[in-house]
Chains A and B, each alone.
Chain A
């Protein structure tokens, strides 16, 4: 079955995991990205153990520059430790980024699969919706929604996830459109399998690869969006987030540069990591002819 699909669709590379990994490993940047993502995930998971202080606990040691053993990255105006803030911020950013991207991809898969497989009226409606959501600028809409309906991590994840699904939907739809006329799908239909089973058991596994690439890039976008909202002061006030720290730093640019540099570095590294991984995955799945 697999062999015949390969022959028909023209996939020339073997699709075994080992080969895939070998291809991925060859790309140094992709490996660096993977390392970055893993390192950040570790920091996020182990935050309570790694952070020397509770990031929100104030002290009388305000505006300390970095370099002391007690506060290696310095403190802010309320005496809160920057290092601890950056560590705990990793948790928030990754949590929001990954869950928002997962939400977006999930919605996108379902809607895209339905649109691609069933076509017709359903397809048209779903396509109109994706167009609408892709036209209204995500950041502006997210800004307004959060500003009007209130802050909070759960709401943030929901908003970002709900705004990012169109891309995934279109991708999945496109894949479904090209796959659904293939022999193996006809075979499955002939066997009498119900529509949803065909979608999820037969076709979906074959289109997951590009979706995973998109998911990785979506995480990067989600982290950036969350940080942007935090920078506008619309993040969750009861957790420490990188965007929130940068918002706070705006008032202290002349006095305490460390309040701005380190959290921003965190954002840049996280976004970079997921972008590199996404790019690496993409190259490994569809290797172009390199010079």
Chain B
């Protein structure tokens, strides 16, 4: 009886499925993604630009790839072993892989890419590579990497976004930065580069020799510099996908109502938005004044208005994106709630007369949420008698002003953790080499903090890392060289007809697995 009922139920369900026109998991169709700007190049080994990665993640592969929960999955490597002392990695490479130009792939390509391309030029991988002692290839399908010191996030950095594997036979002996190969990329990935019409679109087509089924026929990247226009294009179906980096949060409430769209909330790769405070400058050198700023700034308002409520007000010096880096004792909502009165009191104690302080606020003019945050901060500080002059600057001028010349009082910036605080967040507080962009620009230098953060980078055991971060947080929450504003919450949007989306940690990854494209 039960069996008959089961069979009937199954039949019924399958008829239902077929009748409802459930899309069959067939290959085919085109997926159109929106980008906010042309990529600078199509070589992901020499730059970390977002648009570059978005396109080339489909053309080039890494040794591994990261799944939706951050798990390490095979890509060019089918198996790997990590020695117990975490100083040797042995990778077994996939066989039968060919480059898009037909030549066979081998371990020599891996060695070349790590040593000569990513290890030398890639902004993030360079840091990891500094820990590498040697890369050897005992045979054409094996790669052995020996480390000088263990580096906890190393394995996860061997994906296409940090260590893309590129063809040795095309780049060996060439001037990599200016090579014409950078405009005609040849990789081992699921898609082959077809064309690039600058300012308009980049077109990729399916790689018939990929070792896994590739569902879409084509990927098209449309370049739409205006954020509002990207949202419009999504609504009208002109594009299928807009990832978080290019999605204006203020459009999200409207997009949520649209039945043809599916939005994914969440931040698989945490990112922080914060305000550097130039501790070299007179009243800001006092920790009391910095704390006053923390009381005066309404982080909830910033989240509500600059991010349309789609962010999490900051909870500590490393936000709360990583559980082990968040310490409840140093939660900002307890330590520094929004309170103009307490701010005024602290300013008075620090000897700053009301109305006497005038600060400059520098920011990247092209980043709308940062601009909005700056305006709100300006208004907040006005309430406690501090005048703020807004200085919106073009990106490279801003970089020069903030990181090279340190000519600013306050600046709002955002950094991605890039999957681990050691990769992306430590640089906010570490003593910085002067003149380099995207590091600690506050002038804050605390040897104890440096020591603890270096230790945290080497420790792989989560509970021990948490203890170290607890110590660091205690110091940083008191010193406040940087005021963390909020943890970003990512919103990726796609048209509802696409299936099996977001199979990679990074929204730009795993597009060959998506089916249902028209």
- A residues near B (Cβ < 8 Å) are 56-58, 60, 62, 77-79, 147, 151, 233, 237-238, 250-255
Chain B residues contacting A78 (CB-CB under 8 Å) are 305-306, 372, 375-376
Could you tell me if B382 and A250 are in contact, using CB atoms closer than 8 angstroms? no
**A77-B250, A251-B368, A255-B250 are known contacts. Are A147 and B375 too (CB-CB below 8 A)?**
no
B residues with CB within 8 A of A? 226-228, 231-232, 248, 250-251, 254, 301, 304-306, 365, 368, 372, 375-376, 378-379, 382, 389-392, 394
B368 to chain A: closest residue by CB: A251
- Contacts A58-B375, A62-B305, A78-B305 aside, 13 further interface pairs with beta carbons under 8 A come to A56-B379, A58-B305, A60-B301, A60-B304, A77-B305, A78-B372, A233-B392, A237-B390, A250-B228, A251-B368, A252-B250, A254-B231, A254-B254
Q: How far is the CA of A147 from the CA of B395 in the complex (A)?
A: 11
List 21 A-B residue pairs with CB atoms under 8 Å apart, sorted by A's residue number.
A56-B375, A56-B379, A57-B382, A58-B301, A58-B375, A58-B376, A60-B304, A60-B305, A62-B304, A62-B305, A77-B372, A78-B306, A79-B305, A233-B392, A238-B389, A251-B368, A252-B228, A253-B228, A254-B228, A254-B232, A255-B254
Residue of A78, A250, A254 with most chain B CB atoms under a 10 A cut-off? A78
Instruction: Indicate which residue in A56, A60, A151, A251 contacts B392 across the interface (CB closer than 8 Å).
Output: A151
The secondary-structure label for the interface of chain B is: helix
Q: Separation in Å of the B252 CB from the closest CB of chain A?
A: 11
Contacts of A147 in B (CB 8 A): 394
Docked Cα-Cα span, A151 to B251, in Å, equals 29
A77-B372, A237-B390 as given contacts; A251 in contact with B228, CB under 8 Å: yes
Q: Which of chain A's residues have a CB closer than 8 A to the CB of B391?
A: 237
Cβ distance A89 to chain B, nearest Cβ, rounded Å: 16
Q: Which residues of chain A are near B251, meaning CB under 8 Å?
A: 254-255
Residues of B within 8 A of A255 (CB): 250-251, 254
Report B-chain residues with C-beta under 8 Å of the C-beta of A253: 228
Tell me whether B365 and A233 are in contact (CB under 8 A): yes
Q: A58-B301, A58-B375, A237-B391 are in contact. Are A251 and B382 (CB under 8 A)?
A: no
Distance from B59 Cβ to chain A, minimum over Cβ atoms (Å)? 32
CB distance from A24 to the nearest CB of B (A): 43
A251–B250 CA distance with the chains assembled, in angstroms = 9
B6 to chain A minimum Cβ distance, whole angstroms, is: 51
A239: nearest chain-B partner, CB-CB = B390
Contacts of B227 in A (CB 8 A): 251
Q: Report B-chain residues with C-beta under 8 Å of the C-beta of A62.
A: 304-305
Contact A251 B248 (CB under 8 A): yes
Name the residue of chain B whose CB is nearest to the CB of A58.
Answer: B379
Give the distance in Å from the alpha carbon of A200 to the alpha carbon of B382 in the complex: 49
CA distance A238 to B226 in the complex (A): 24
Using Cβ atoms and an 8 Å threshold, which residues of chain B touch A250?
Answer: 226, 228
Nearest-Cβ distance from residue B242 to partner chain A, whole angstroms: 14
Q: Shortest beta-carbon distance, B482 to chain A, in Å?
A: 23
| Residue with the greatest number of chain B CB neighbours at <10 A, chosen from A62, A237, A254 | A237
Q: CA–CA, A252 to B375, complex, Å?
A: 17
Docked CA distance A255–B365 (Å): 22
